[in-house]
C-alpha cells in the first residue's frame, strides 16, 4: 500500500529495505508543483526502458546495483552512488541485483 | 580540496565518510541553473543557524544524526532519513554526532 505523501518538514525513511525488498513496491514519497521524490523498487533484471523527462533528475542507488545507460555510456550505480542527469537526457535503467533507487525529479514550470 | 563539480551522467560517491569524516569538509557536488547538490560535513555540535532559501530543499542524513528545527518543531534526522522543506521555510541544523548531510537545493528561476 502506498504511504500518504509527505509534507514539508515530515521525516521520510529512505533506509535500505533489506529483506523486505521482495515484498515492497515502488512508491511516491512526495510531489509538489516543483519537485517529486519516489523510491523505485527494482527486482533483479527489472528496469525502465529508455525514456526522458523534461527536467533534471538525480538517481541515487539506496541498495543493490543498477545499470544506467545515458550519454552513450553504460555504467553501474551501486548503493551510495548518485548520478545527475540533465533535463531531456534519454536514459534507461536495469537492476543487476534486487535494488531500490531514490529518484528526485524536478518538474517543469 | 574540493572536487571538480560533476556533470550530467557522472557518478557521484555519497557513501558515508566513516573514519574519514574528521578530515573532510563540506563540498559542492554540482550546480546547474536549476539544481545544486552539496555534502555538508558537520562535526558534533556544529550546524547552521536559522536561515531560509528561496526554493524547496531536501536534507538527507548520510551518517550521524542532526537536529533539525523547522515548522516550530525540533526533530532528529538520522542516517537514511530525509526531510523535504518547502521554499522559504526557515530552518536550522545542529549535528548531534559527527554527521554528513546531502543537501539538494532547487534554485529560483
CA distance B35 to B28: 11
Distance from CA of A12 to the nearest CA of B (A): 5
The residue among B101, B105, B100 whose CA lies nearest residue B31 is B105
CA distance A74 to A64: 17
Is the confidence at residue A3, as pLDDT, over 90? no
How many CB atoms lie under 10 A from the CB of residue A36? 19
CB A17 within 8 Å of CB A53: no
The per-residue pLDDT string of chain B (109 residues; one tens digit each, 9 = 90 and over) reads 445 577 999 999 999 999 999 999 999 999 998 999 999 999 999 999 999 999 999 999 999 999 999 999 999 999 999 999 999 999 999 999 999 999 999 997 6
CB–CB of A84 and B10 under 8 A? yes
Domains of chain B: 34-106 (2.60.120.10)
CA distance A19 to A24: 10
Interface contact B107, partner A, CB < 8 A: no
Partners of residue B37 in chain A, C-beta under 8 Å: 58, 82, 84
Write down the mean pLDDT value for chain A. Answer: 94
CB B27 within 8 Å of CB B12: no
Is the confidence at residue A5, as pLDDT, over 90? no
The residue among A19, A1, A12 whose CA lies nearest residue A64 is A19
Is the confidence at residue A7, as pLDDT, over 70? yes
Please give the model's pTM, rounded to 2 decimal places: 0.93
pLDDT band at A6 (very low <50, low <70, confident <90, very high): confident
Q: What is the SS3 assignment for A76?
A: strand
Interface contact B89, partner A, CB < 8 A: yes
The shortest CB-CB distance from B56 to any of A11, A35, A82 is to A35
CB pairs under 8 A between A and B: 109
pLDDT of residue A1: 42
Q: What is the pLDDT of residues B3-29, one digit of tens each?
A: 557 799 999 999 999 999 999 999 999
Q: What is the pLDDT of residues A22-61, one digit of tens each?
A: 999 999 999 998 999 999 999 999 999 999 999 999 999 9
Measured between CA atoms, the residue of chain B closest to residue A32 is B86
Lookup: cell for B32: 546547474
Interface contact B96, partner A, CB < 8 A: no
Does the model's ipTM exceed the 0.90 cut? yes
CA distance B107 to B87: 10
CA distance B86 to A32: 9
Amino acid at each position: 500500500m502506498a504511504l500518504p505523501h509527505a509534507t514539508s518538514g515530515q521525516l521520510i525513511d529512505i533506509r535500505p529495505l533489506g529483506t523486505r525488498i521482495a515484498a515492497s513496491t515502488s512508491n511516491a514519497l512526495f510531489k509538489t508543483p516543483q519537485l517529486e521524490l519516489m523510491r523505485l523498487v527494482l527486482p533483479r533484471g527489472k528496469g525502465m526502458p529508455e525514456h526522458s523527462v523534461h527536467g533534471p533528475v538525480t538517481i541515487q542507488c539506496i541498495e543493490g546495483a543498477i545499470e544506467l545507460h545515458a550519454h552513450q555510456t553504460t555504467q553501474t550505480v551501486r548503493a551510495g552512488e548518485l548520478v545527475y542527469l540533465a533535463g531531456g537526457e534519454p536514459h534507461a535503467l536495469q537492476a543487476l541485483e534486487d535494488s531500490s533507487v531514490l529518484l528526485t525529479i524536478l518538474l517543469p514550470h
